[in-house]
Structure 1
Amino acid sequence: MHIPRLPLLLKIAAATAAGALALIVAAGLRRDDAVASLRREIREAVAALVASNEDGVVEGEGEDATEAPPPSVLITGFRAHGKSSLVNTACRALAAEEGPLLLRAEASPPGGGSDGTRKRRRVKAAVAADGGDAGTDDAVVELLDAPPLPEATRVTRADIDSAISGGNPECVVLALRCDAPAKERNAAVKRLPEISAAVRAKGLNLIVVLTFKKAMRSVRQAEELLREVSFRARTDCVYFIENYTWNNNGPNLRHPPVIKNDFETHFTVLTIIRQCLEFIKLNRSQSKREENGEKGNSEDVKGAPEKVLTANAKSSGELSVKPALEKPSVADVKPVLTVQ
């Protein structure tokens, strides 16, 4: 039996390794292209919302016209459910950052501490251009980091209304932790119908983000939680995500830990932002149509009497208006003869 020579085996192994490396590089490039394409769509959507109206006319060209405000998204949720970490993750993905995690919102620790003094924070997340460089005219998405809701067992409708009212948000994202204790998670899930009703009463759309995705032990468990959350929140916009945090690496005295960007995390959070922008676009278009309709109706009512008088004059050839309570003249009064 002929045994292949060693150099031939080395060549085959080298070719196999090169092919596998090429596949890995190609897959990485496809992922980078997918994230860059999604970020480009977000940048274009933000620019369209800020600079143009529904008819494509630039709002800042007139003397009294002003540009529309940047889209505003409210991030709310219960304490230590990952809402502030979601803000930091979204800012990192939108800006195409690498290396250490830059914190824009202060995340609450899993246990202990108090959030009584926390206030609503408005974080302006800049969307990076295709090259990853930020310019002076960058598209910006405003993320409202709201104080946490009270415990699910004692939260009221007034608390929910107060949380979603401040800052004039145009879309609401609710963060819900997957790995929370069963009793706490079940109580939070049972509050979803009330939260959803409060959000819809404000004319807004609700998106639910299930954080700490790795806590799901199986696909079946994740699907069951997804169905329950979708049913109670009355929405199909439910996402699983693993936020960028320092919990795994811990603090470092010499330098902050370097976090490697994850494709699924970047793609998921950009998808959430893109969905928020689509909801905001629909809401703004609906508001403009209602304003234009009300304006048109008021003009029609104002001009209605003139139009009626003009139509009567054209049909009769003359315009004669007599008051309804005009007194009769003396010549018009005829004597009445009474016979007895």
Structure 2
Amino acid sequence: MRMPRLPLLLKIAAAAAAGALALIVAARLRREDAVASLRREIRECVSALVEEEGDGDGGGGGGGGAKEVASSPAPSVLITGFRAHGKSSLVNTACRALAAEDGPLLLRAEASPPGGGTDGPRRRRRVKAVVAGADGDGAGDGDNVVDLLDAPPLPEAARLSRDDIDAAIIGGNPECVVLVLRCDAPAKERNAAIRRLPEISAAVRNKGLNLIVVLTFKKAMRSIRQAEELLREVSFRARTDCVYFIENYTWSNNGPNLHHPPVIKNDFETHFTVLTIIRQCLEFIKLNRSQSKDKGDKQAKPDEPKPKNPPAEAKQCRKFNDSSVRLFFNSSET
């Protein structure tokens, strides 16, 4: 059998390589389009939530008076959890994904150094995450901002009280609560935190809010089966289907380099997951605001008072009807 010539083999290899490269580029473009589409949905949802609403009468009199408008506040999401579970890293990851950033990781929240947090006091910090537009614009656009409340860490699960949970939820007037738990925490610490989920969930719902649970350090899961078991247990105890796995953007183990900041490559799963979490929070906020508005409209609408004395016309009409009925039954035809 005659062997094919070398130029023919090179042409086949080049065609195969070109086809593989085309598939890789197409998959990358498809992922970027999915992330951009999700970011665009978030931007539109935020714009709708803070949309200005006027009184509709143009200041009265129809004579070109100034129209009174009142804009709603930016949606606020509380990020809470135990110490060194990835709360601040989730805030930084969300800001990076919403702003469509590349290159070095910019820290907005007070992220703990590698190896865990410090015992120093922490205060609640409001981080304004700007949602970029279709072309990456939007920096400085105050109408497309999501307020992320980076809360101080909760006390240890063993000594966590209901008052601690209520204090963490009330501060900052959040409209949705995201609880962060790490997957690679020691088994004893992780199990203790999971056992407190029913109490945390009840406190959140008692305030009329929705709870979302985020499991950080996703790569610590050794198998899909282990991840599914953890997902079922967390969903059952927290009484919610909104449970997500995520791998946050964090500094390397060597720490930050001030002269040459490390460049972090954007990961599709991380970006898509954190944007999905923010999108779910906005849906909950939209539903809560709609229900609050309907409840306020019902309370503001006065009940129509019933007249104690019927008008004279009604009395005459009723008298006429009564006489007509008596004439009908007393007539000879009946």
TM-score (normalised: structure 2): 0.88
1:23 alignment counterpart: 23
User: What residue identity is the alignment partner of 1:97?
Assistant: E
Q: Contact 2:83–2:117 at 8 Å: present in 1 too?
A: no
Per-residue deviation, 1:249? 5.6
Q: Aligned to 2:153, which of 144, 148, 152?
A: 148
Q: Contact 1:87–1:145 at 8 Å: present in 2 too?
A: yes
Runs of 4+ more than 4 Å apart = 61-64
Larger Rg: 1
2:213 alignment counterpart: 208
1:218 alignment counterpart: 223
Q: 2: distance between equivalents of 1:193 and 1:219?
A: 25
1:167 alignment counterpart: 172
Give the SS at the match of 1:100. coil
Q: Contact 1:171–1:204 at 8 Å: present in 2 too?
A: yes
Q: Aligned to 1:265, which of 258, 267, 270?
A: 270
Q: Deviations over 1:213-242 (max 9, x none)?
A: 000000000000000000000000000000
User: What residue identity is the alignment partner of 1:126?
Assistant: V
Q: 1: distance between equivalents of 2:99 and 2:300?
A: 41
Does 1:113 pair with 2:118? yes
Give the SS at the match of 1:51. coil
Q: 1: distance between equivalents of 2:10 and 2:137?
A: 44
Give the SS at the match of 2:69. coil
> For residues 283 and 188 of structure 1, do their structure 2 counterparts lie closer, same or farther at Cα, with a shift above 3 Å needed?
same
RMSD: 1.8
Q: Contact 1:39–1:127 at 8 Å: present in 2 too?
A: yes
User: What residue identity is the alignment partner of 1:251?
Assistant: P
The count of residues paired between Structure 1 and Structure 2 equals 307
Q: 1: distance between equivalents of 2:112 and 2:139?
A: 32
Task: Give percent identity, aligned residues only.
Answer: 77
Q: Contact 1:52–1:58 at 8 Å: present in 2 too?
A: no
Q: Aligned to 1:190, which of 195, 203, 214?
A: 195
Q: 5 Å matches for 1:311-330?
A: 311-317=310-316
2:327 alignment counterpart: none
Q: Contact 1:79–1:148 at 8 Å: present in 2 too?
A: yes
User: What residue identity is the alignment partner of 2:77?
Assistant: V
Q: Deviations over 1:227-271 (max 9, x none)?
A: 000000000000000000013463325311100000000000000
Q: 2: distance between equivalents of 1:58 and 1:71?
A: 22
Q: Contact 2:51–2:71 at 8 Å: present in 1 too?
A: yes
Q: 2: distance between equivalents of 1:112 and 1:92?
A: 22
2:81 alignment counterpart: 77
1:333 alignment counterpart: none
Give the SS at the match of 1:44. helix
1:322 alignment counterpart: none
Per-residue deviation, 1:107? 1.5
2:283 alignment counterpart: 278
1:250 alignment counterpart: 255
Q: 5 Å matches for 1:35-74?
A: 35-51=35-51, 63-74=67-78
Consecutive unaligned residues of structure 1, counting only runs of 5 or more, are 319-340
Give the SS at the match of 2:158. coil
1:86 alignment counterpart: 90
Consecutive unaligned residues of structure 2, counting only runs of 5 or more, are 60-66, 318-334
Q: Contact 1:79–1:108 at 8 Å: present in 2 too?
A: no
Q: 2: distance between equivalents of 1:221 and 1:292?
A: 48
Q: 2: distance between equivalents of 1:89 and 1:249?
A: 19
Per-residue deviation, 1:185? 0.1
Give the SS at the match of 2:70. coil
Per-residue deviation, 1:203? 0.2
Q: 2: distance between equivalents of 1:289 and 1:145?
A: 30
Does 1:8 pair with 2:14? no
Per-residue deviation, 1:106? 1.1
Q: 2: distance between equivalents of 1:65 and 1:252?
A: 48
Q: 1: distance between equivalents of 2:233 and 2:262?
A: 37
> For residues 103 and 250 of structure 1, do their structure 2 counterparts lie closer, same or farther at Cα, with a shift above 3 Å needed?
same
Q: Contact 1:51–1:58 at 8 Å: present in 2 too?
A: no
Per-residue deviation, 1:174? 0.3
Q: 2: distance between equivalents of 1:145 and 1:112?
A: 14
